[in-house]
Structure 1
Amino acid sequence: MAEISKTADQALTVLLKVGENGPMTPAELARTLGMNRTVVHRLLSTLHQRGFVTRQEDGYVPGAILVRIAERVQPELRASGRTAMLELAGAVGETAVMHIADGLDAVVLEQVVPDRNIVRVEHEIGSRHPLHEGASGRALLAFLGQSAIDRVARGIDAPDALARQLETVRQLGYALSHDELQQGVHGLAVPVLDAPGHAVASIALLAPTTRASALPTHLDALLAASAGLSRLLYGRS
């Protein structure tokens, strides 16, 4: 493994924890992360001066500069994906979410949460989970190529079962999940493919258990949204 900067790693650890649980005070961060309080103060001071965190009365929260940085992540895919998901979520009334692959994880790039229902599902932009878990992750992994699948398989207990799952996803063109990442949440996901047929993202519809039986009826709309993105961005027919 390549050598890393301990200080930079500590600063990023603090920033991630503020993003997950903020607002947080320096004392709370030091206690939660098991770090020296003086070190945490120094790291927060640096992050604050650079705009990565903002200080409020009840602690530190993520800074506005992170929004500008986030907008630079896959801007064309994100913008086009949001347009497609607005139409999709508006038509079916369920949350639409887009994931991209980052190493061994699936990361939320964009989402649209319609307000048609009182009970609805919501992710956080930038949240992540392992590629082999959840419909969104498997819809991505199945079309990432064998080398990516091999890397994931080396880190799990049941690689043969995963291989069978991914083959089913490739045959059907979609992935399903229920109660995997969140209890009471069901997912239906499809890949967004580039011209050679590799996944660049996945789009999923998420619904609570009470409306899960209707998810399969939205498959055609989900596939149409994915195909439209593939044509628009990558010229895939």
Structure 2
Amino acid sequence: MTAETSQTLDRGLRVLKLLADTDHGLTVTELSTKLGVNRTVVYRLLATLEQHALVRRDLGGRARVGLGVLRLGRQVHPLVREAALPALRSLAEDIGATAHLTLVDGSEALAVAVVEPTWTDYHVAYRAGFRHPLDRGAAGKAILSARQSPSSDPGYTLTHGELEAGASGAAAPLVGVTGVEGSVGVVMLADAVPERVGARVMEAAREVAEALR
């Protein structure tokens, strides 16, 4: 038996998803076409979402995601972090390097979970909350590689010295997790990443993705 659902709520959530997928916002007419409903319905949906700061309209009348979504998003990070920690701990201990989960935050990469190995004499100090441009460092570049080839296996990304002199990184993107764009990786003090690390990072990324589905 199919559970009873709310058509209005469903439409409102679809509006948010459509707006989240565009950088330029959408007009009422565009939303009406994409939702398959008349403009009056769209106006009502937007008015309700605006009251909760989930949607805002610019001077040109285009609807965009509102700042209220950020408040909801902050509550997601602890849940994602908790789900990722077992795989990150295993990765850090296995490789002997600092492991991290990085998520997209606007145009930046944001480290939301970091685990350091317990048995090494030294390792890279990498902290949760660290931000960097998406096009610098293995974590961000792995995410960008997944954007460029969403239908294929993006593999892993290696970098050296892009975020910290003398440090090398390896990262693999999270694949198949609805609403989450991120990567799992390691950073180490080395001139180059050992060959086995790439495959191990990809394995950890798959484990985290499974935990988040």
Q: TM-score, normalised on structure 2?
A: 0.58
Root-mean-square deviation (Å): 2.6
Structure 1 consecutive aligned stretches of length 4 or more whose deviation exceeds 4 Å? none
Aligned partners of 2:79, 2:73: CA distance in 1, in Å? 12
For 1:18, the equivalent position in structure 2 comes to: none
Match of 2:188 among 196, 207, 215: 207
For 2:109, the equivalent position in structure 1 comes to: 106
Aligned partners of 1:120, 1:195: CA distance in 2, in Å? 30
Q: Does the C-alpha gap of structure 1 residues 119 and 77 become closer, same or farther in structure 2, counting only changes over 3 Å?
A: same
Match of 1:175 among 150, 157, 180: 157
Report Cα offsets for 1:5-31 as digits up to 9, x if no partner: xxxxxxxxxxxxxxxxxxxxxxxxxxx
Report Cα offsets for 1:36-68 as digits up to 9, x if no partner: xxxxxxxxxxxxxxxxxxxxxxxxxxxxxxxxx
Aligned partners of 1:233, 1:107: CA distance in 2, in Å? 17
Gaps of 5+ in 2: 1-71
Report Cα offsets for 1:140-183 as digits up to 9, x if no partner: 122246xxxxxxxxxxxxxxxxxxxxx7xx76511111011100
Report Cα offsets for 1:100-119 as digits up to 9, x if no partner: 11111001101101132222
1:188 matched to 2:170? The reply is yes
For 2:207, the equivalent position in structure 1 comes to: 228
Q: Which protein has the bigger helix share?
A: 1
Match of 1:127 among 125, 130, 153: 130
By how many angstroms is 1:233 displaced?
1.9
Q: What is the correspondence of 1:78-157 to structure 2 with a 5 Å cutoff?
A: 78-144=81-147
Q: Does the C-alpha gap of structure 1 residues 213 and 195 become closer, same or farther in structure 2, counting only changes over 3 Å?
A: closer
CA contact (8 A) 1:191 1:199 kept: no
Q: TM-score, normalised on structure 1?
A: 0.53
By how many angstroms is 1:209 displaced?
1.7
For 1:217, the equivalent position in structure 2 comes to: 196
Report Cα offsets for 1:71-97 as digits up to 9, x if no partner: 834222211111110011111211101
Kindly, what percent of the aligned residue pairs are identical?
28
Gaps of 5+ in 1: 1-68, 146-166
Aligned partners of 1:187, 1:135: CA distance in 2, in Å? 5
For 1:61, the equivalent position in structure 2 comes to: none
CA contact (8 A) 2:84 2:208 kept: yes
Q: Does the C-alpha gap of structure 1 residues 92 and 129 become closer, same or farther in structure 2, counting only changes over 3 Å?
A: same
Secondary structure class of the residue paired with 1:106: strand
Aligned partners of 2:169, 2:155: CA distance in 1, in Å? 14
Aligned residues: 140
Q: Does the C-alpha gap of structure 1 residues 71 and 104 become closer, same or farther in structure 2, counting only changes over 3 Å?
A: closer
Amino acid at match of 2:206: A
CA contact (8 A) 2:170 2:193 kept: no
Secondary structure class of the residue paired with 2:81: helix
Aligned partners of 1:205, 1:94: CA distance in 2, in Å? 6
